[in-house]
């Protein structure tokens, strides 16, 4: 445990609201994930061919070329099957697609190197918070690729992660662990942060920009005097405090920018997404409660999906940001 402790500047994290840790993963650590997504894309593309959303698909091409080609051909790629959590906006019908619950993701969520990092911020009783995403962003300079695609595939506007939880999680020590699967240079749309922005007491005002976009802070409220871009190499990890204002640049390169954003917190605090299944990832006190069974994790998400479909209205899942609020004018 704590093999990486010397690499994490916990003081800088408390002071600045973020930390960058280089070389946490090697390329081979992502092989299973890449293979899983390659198969997933083949399956999804077969469905798109059958329904006529795309006209052609060359399975012999490398993954990046296949995904870019699919994005270019279809009106709008449905990201649900590629993501690892439910959208707050689309799970209102029994025909919404299952999310990706492959073992490679479960293994990364429980990866000892990630938990060693999280432990230094949230302590030894670690809960894997279920607000988590896989983002594989196509080149945004090519308007045909992204004009209609959901925000998850585009640059992310300024926000605090606390803005997407329900209010009962206001005091949860929520840690965002952002993992670079590919390089993320500034041209490729790396993250950007406002250092020290987590120190203010209140959550900033956020506004919903459109139905597929998470809440974002209106430009006039973003203290942009000190914006820091965070370019990183594949395998690096970036940590954010729940109130740190951050976003990402547009991917103006011709490559895919692939990342995971995962979240951890101490066991026993509200997750801010009650109905989604988190799990105990590490515990000294109750080691027998740690979830190590991939099938059980899958089942938990499937049960949550059934519940959500029955509920119909997902708006209860997170705090409400109204476009009619005075700060959105
Ligand atoms: O990966 C990105 O572009 C944005 C990630 C982000 O904003 C987050 O993890 O909260």
Inform me whether the pLDDT recorded for 147 exceeds 60.
no
Confidence class of residue 116 from pLDDT cuts 50, 70 and 90? very high
Question: Is 161 close to ligand 1, i.e. is its CB under 6 Å away?
Answer: yes
Confidence class of residue 35 from pLDDT cuts 50, 70 and 90? very high
Pocket probe mutation, ligand 1, options 129, 246, 272, max atoms within 8 Å of Cβ: 246
Q: Average the pLDDT over each of 37-41, 127-131, 224-228 and give the range with the smallest value.
A: 224-228
What is the distance in A from the centroid of ligand 1 to the CA of 246? 8
Question: Is 176 close to ligand 1, i.e. is its CB under 6 Å away?
Answer: yes
What is the distance in A from the centroid of ligand 1 to the CA of 252? 16
pLDDT of residue 239: 98
Inform me whether the pLDDT recorded for 317 exceeds 90.
no
Pocket probe mutation, ligand 1, options 247, 253, 262, max atoms within 8 Å of Cβ: 247
pLDDT of residue 2: 44
Inform me whether the pLDDT recorded for 3 exceeds 70.
no
What is the distance in A from the centroid of ligand 1 to the CA of 11? 23
CATH number, domain 8-30+81-321: 2.60.120.620
Inform me whether the pLDDT recorded for 6 exceeds 50.
no
Question: Is 29 close to ligand 1, i.e. is its CB under 6 Å away?
Answer: no
pLDDT of residue 200: 87
pLDDT of residue 1: 46
pLDDT of residue 293: 98
Question: Is 135 close to ligand 1, i.e. is its CB under 6 Å away?
Answer: yes
Confidence class of residue 87 from pLDDT cuts 50, 70 and 90? confident
pLDDT of residue 151: 67
pLDDT of residue 252: 93
The β-bridge relationship of strands 237-241 and 175-180 is: antiparallel
111-to-2, 29, 117, 263 alpha-carbon distances in Å: 12, 10, 10, 13
Rounded to two decimals, the pTM is: 0.95
CA 147 remoteness from chain centre: 21
Instruction: Output the residue whose Cα is nearest ligand 1's atom 7.
Output: 247
- Mean pLDDT value of segment 55-74: 94
Pocket probe mutation, ligand 1, options 176, 184, 209, max atoms within 8 Å of Cβ: 176
Inform me whether the pLDDT recorded for 96 exceeds 60.
yes
Confidence class of residue 149 from pLDDT cuts 50, 70 and 90? low
Q: Can you give the chain as a three-state secondary structure string?
A: CCCCHHHCCHHHHHHHCEEEECCCCCHHHHHHHHHHHHHHHHHHHHHHHHHCCCCCCCCCCCHHHHHHHHHHHCCCCCCHHHCCCCCCCCCCCCCCCCCCCCHHHHHHHCCHHHHHHHHHHHCCCEEEEEEEEEEEECCCCCHHHHCCCCHHHCCCCCECHHHHCCHHHCCCCCEEEEEECCCECCCCCCEEECCCHHHCCCCCCCEECCCCCCEECCHHHCCCCCCEEECECCCCEEEEECCCCEEECCCCCCCCEEEEEEEEEECCCCCCCCCCCCEEEECCCCHHHCCCCHHHHHHHHHHHHHHHHHHCCHHHHCCCCCCCCHHHC
Confidence class of residue 213 from pLDDT cuts 50, 70 and 90? low
What is the distance in A from the centroid of ligand 1 to the CA of 279? 22
Question: Is 257 close to ligand 1, i.e. is its CB under 6 Å away?
Answer: no
The first and second tokens of residue 178, run together, are: 């952002």
- Mean pLDDT value of segment 163-170: 94
Confidence class of residue 109 from pLDDT cuts 50, 70 and 90? very high
Cα–Cα distance for residue pair 153/144, rounded to 1 Å: 13
Torsion of CA 270, 271, 275, 280, to 10 degrees: -100
126 vs 224, more confident: 126
What is the distance in A from the centroid of ligand 1 to the CA of 319? 19
Instruction: Output the residue whose Cα is nearest ligand 1's atom 8.
Output: 261
Question: Is 248 close to ligand 1, i.e. is its CB under 6 Å away?
Answer: yes
């Amino acid at each position: 445990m704590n093999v990486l402790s010397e690499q994490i500047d916990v003081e800088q994290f408390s002071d600045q609201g973020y930390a960058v840790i280089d070389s946490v993963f090697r390329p081979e650590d992502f092989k299973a994930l890449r293979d899983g997504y390659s198969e997933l894309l083949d399956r999804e593309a077969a469905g798109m061919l059958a329904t006529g959303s795309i006209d052609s698909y060359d399975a012999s091409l490398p993954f990046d070329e296949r995904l870019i080609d699919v994005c270019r051909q279809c009106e709008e790629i449905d990201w649900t099957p590629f993501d690892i959590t439910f959208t707050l906006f689309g799970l209102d019908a029994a025909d919404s697609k299952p999310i990706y619950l492959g073992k490679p993701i479960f293994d990364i969520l429980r990866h000892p190197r990630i938990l060693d990092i999280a432990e230094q911020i949230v302590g030894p009783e670690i809960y894997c918070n279920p607000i988590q995403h896989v983002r594989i962003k196509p080149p945004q300079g090519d308007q045909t690729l992204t004009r209609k695609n959901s925000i998850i595939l585009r640059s992310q506007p300024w926000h605090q992660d606390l803005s997407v939880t329900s209010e009962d999680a206001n005091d949860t020590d929520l840690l965002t662990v952002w993992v670079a699967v590919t390089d993320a240079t500034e041209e490729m749309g790396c993250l950007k942060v406002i250092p020290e922005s987590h120190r203010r007491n209140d959550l900033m005002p956020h506004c919903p920009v459109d139905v597929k976009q998470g809440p974002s802070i209106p430009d006039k409220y973003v203290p942009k005097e000190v914006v820091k871009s965070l370019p990183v190499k594949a395998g690096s990890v970036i940590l954010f405090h729940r109130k740190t204002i951050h976003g990402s640049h547009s991917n103006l390169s011709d490559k895919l920018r692939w990342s995971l954003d995962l979240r951890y917190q101490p066991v026993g605090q509200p997750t801010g997404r009650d109905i989604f299944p988190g799990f105990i990832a590490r515990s000294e006190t109750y080691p027998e409660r740690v979830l190590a069974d991939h099938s059980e994790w899958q089942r938990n998400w499937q049960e949550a999906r059934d519940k959500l479909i029955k509920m119909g209205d997902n708006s209860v899942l997170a705090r409400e940001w109204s476009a009619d609020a005075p700060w959105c004018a």
